[in-house]
Structure 1
Amino acid sequence: MAIDLLNIARSGVMAAQSQMGVTSNNIANANTVGYHRQVAEQSSLGSQQIGSSFYGTGTYVSDVKRVYNEYAARELRIGQTSMSGAETRYSKMNEMDQLFSQIGAMVPASLNDFFTSINNVGDLPTDLGMRNNMLSSAGQVANSLNQMQSHLDSQMKQTNAQIGAVADRINEISTELANINLEIMKSPGADSQLLDRQDALILELSEYSEVNVIPLDNGAKSVMLGGSVMLVSGEVAMQVGTTTGDPFSNEPRLTTSTGNSTLVIDGSKLGGQLGELFNFRDQTLIPASQELGQLALGVADAFNQMQQNGFDLDGNIGSNIFTDINDPSMAAGRVGAYSTNTGDANLKVNIDDVGQLTGSAYELSFTAPNTYELKDTQTGKVEPLTLNGNQLEGGNGFSIEIDAGSFADGDRFEIRPNAGAAAGLNVAMTDPRGIAAAAPKISADSGNSGNTSVKLTDIDRTHTSFPETGSELTVKIDTAKNTFQVLDANGAIVGAEKSFTPPQIDTGFGFSFEINDSSSAGVTDSYSFDLSFAEGDNSNAVAMAQLADANIMNNGSSTLSGVFEGTKLDIGSKTQAAAVSLASNDAMYQQAYNRVQSESGVNLDEEAANLMRFQQSYQASARIMTTAQQMFDSLLSSVR
Structure 2
Amino acid sequence: MSGIFSIGISGLNAARAALDVTSHNISNVNTDGYNRQRLSQSAATPQFVGYGYAGRGVDLYAVSRLYDGFMERQLQSVTASSSGFDTQLTALSDIDNLITDGNAGISNLLQSFYSGMQTLGQQPTSIAARQSVLSQAQSLASRFQSMNDRMEEVRHGLINQIGTSAETVNAYSKQISDLNRQIIALNQQNGRLPNDLLDQRDVLVRDLNKMIKADVVEQGDGTYNVFIGQGHPLVLGEASYEMVVSRGAPANPEDPEAPSISIRLPNAGTLVTVDPQRLGGGSITGAMTTLTYDVARAQADLGRMAIEFSDAINRQHELGVDLEGQPAVGGIFADLSAQRAAAEAATTPAGQAKALREALSLFSVVLQEPSKLAVASGLQAGAAAGGSPVITSVWQVANLAPDANSVLPAAPSLALNYTPGNNPPFEADFGGTIIAVAPSLTQSGVYQFTLPTGQNISFKSEGLSSSNQTIPITPRTGAVSELAQMDNANLLEMARLQTRPLMAATPNSTTTFLPATGATRTANLQSFYGQTISYIGSRTNVVNVSSKAQEAALQDVQLKKEAFSGVNLDEEAANLLRYQQAYQASSKVIQVAQEMFRTLLDLR
TM-score by length of 2: 0.79
1:422-441 per-residue CA deviation (whole Å, 9 max, x = no partner) reads 11112121221222222236
CA contact (8 A) 2:15 2:580 kept: yes
How many angstroms apart in 2 are the aligned matches of 1:146 and 1:332? 21
**Does residue 282 in structure 1 map to residue 232 in structure 2?**
no
- Where 2:321 maps in the other structure, the secondary structure is coil
1:529 equivalent in structure 2: 473
TM-score by length of 1: 0.74
Q: How many residues align?
A: 520
Question: Which has the higher mean CA deviation after the structures are superposed, 538-547 or 123-132?
Answer: 538-547
**What CA RMSD, in Å, does the superposition of the two structures yield over aligned residues?**
3.4
Match of 1:423 among 351, 356, 361: 361
CA 1:131–1:414 in 2, change beyond 3 Å: closer, same or farther?
closer
CA 1:37–1:103 in 2, change beyond 3 Å: closer, same or farther?
farther
1:308-342 per-residue CA deviation (whole Å, 9 max, x = no partner) reads 333322223334443454455x569637xxxxxxx
How many angstroms apart in 1 are the aligned matches of 2:522 and 2:13? 84
- 1:10 deviation in Å? 1.4
1:129 equivalent in structure 2: 128
CA 1:514–1:528 in 2, change beyond 3 Å: closer, same or farther?
farther
2:502 equivalent in structure 1: 552
2:261 equivalent in structure 1: 254
Unaligned ranges ≥5, structure 2: 382-390, 395-402, 419-425, 435-449, 458-469, 477-481, 505-519
**Does residue 263 in structure 1 map to residue 277 in structure 2?**
no
How many angstroms apart in 2 are the aligned matches of 1:98 and 1:465? 55
1:345-399 per-residue CA deviation (whole Å, 9 max, x = no partner) reads xxxx5xxxxxxxxxxxx627xxxxxxxxxxxx69xxxxxxxxxxxxxxxxxxxxx
2:155 equivalent in structure 1: 156
How many angstroms apart in 1 are the aligned matches of 2:109 and 2:81? 41
CA contact (8 A) 1:468 1:531 kept: no
Which amino acid in the other structure matches residue 289 of structure 1? Q
| Identity percentage of aligned residues | 26
After superposition, residues 326-475 of structure 1 pair within 5 angstroms as 326=336, 328=338, 330=339, 334=343, 363=347, 418-439=356-377, 440=379, 457=407
CA contact (8 A) 2:145 2:361 kept: yes
CA contact (8 A) 1:93 1:571 kept: yes
How many angstroms apart in 2 are the aligned matches of 1:28 and 1:333? 64
1:107-140 per-residue CA deviation (whole Å, 9 max, x = no partner) reads 2222122112111101111110010111111111
**Does residue 215 in structure 1 map to residue 218 in structure 2?**
yes
How many angstroms apart in 2 are the aligned matches of 1:527 and 1:24? 107
How many angstroms apart in 2 are the aligned matches of 1:599 and 1:155? 42
**Does residue 234 in structure 1 map to residue 237 in structure 2?**
yes
CA contact (8 A) 1:438 1:539 kept: yes
How many angstroms apart in 1 are the aligned matches of 2:501 and 2:589? 97
Which is helix-richer, 1 or 2?
A: 2
1:410 equivalent in structure 2: none
**Does residue 206 in structure 1 map to residue 209 in structure 2?**
yes
CA contact (8 A) 1:474 1:486 kept: no
CA contact (8 A) 1:268 1:274 kept: no
CA 1:327–1:105 in 2, change beyond 3 Å: closer, same or farther?
same
1:197-254 per-residue CA deviation (whole Å, 9 max, x = no partner) reads 1111111111122221111112111110134211111111110011122221110211
- 1:306 deviation in Å? 2.2
CA 1:81–1:104 in 2, change beyond 3 Å: closer, same or farther?
farther
Match of 1:583 among 548, 552, 558: 548
1:404-438 per-residue CA deviation (whole Å, 9 max, x = no partner) reads xxxxxxxxx76866342211112121221222222
CA contact (8 A) 1:317 1:459 kept: no
1:145 equivalent in structure 2: 144
1:499 equivalent in structure 2: none
Which is strand-richer, 1 or 2?
A: 1
CA 1:594–1:454 in 2, change beyond 3 Å: closer, same or farther?
closer
1:471-496 per-residue CA deviation (whole Å, 9 max, x = no partner) reads xx99745xxxxxx3499xxxxxxxxx
1:312 equivalent in structure 2: 322
CA contact (8 A) 1:317 1:458 kept: no
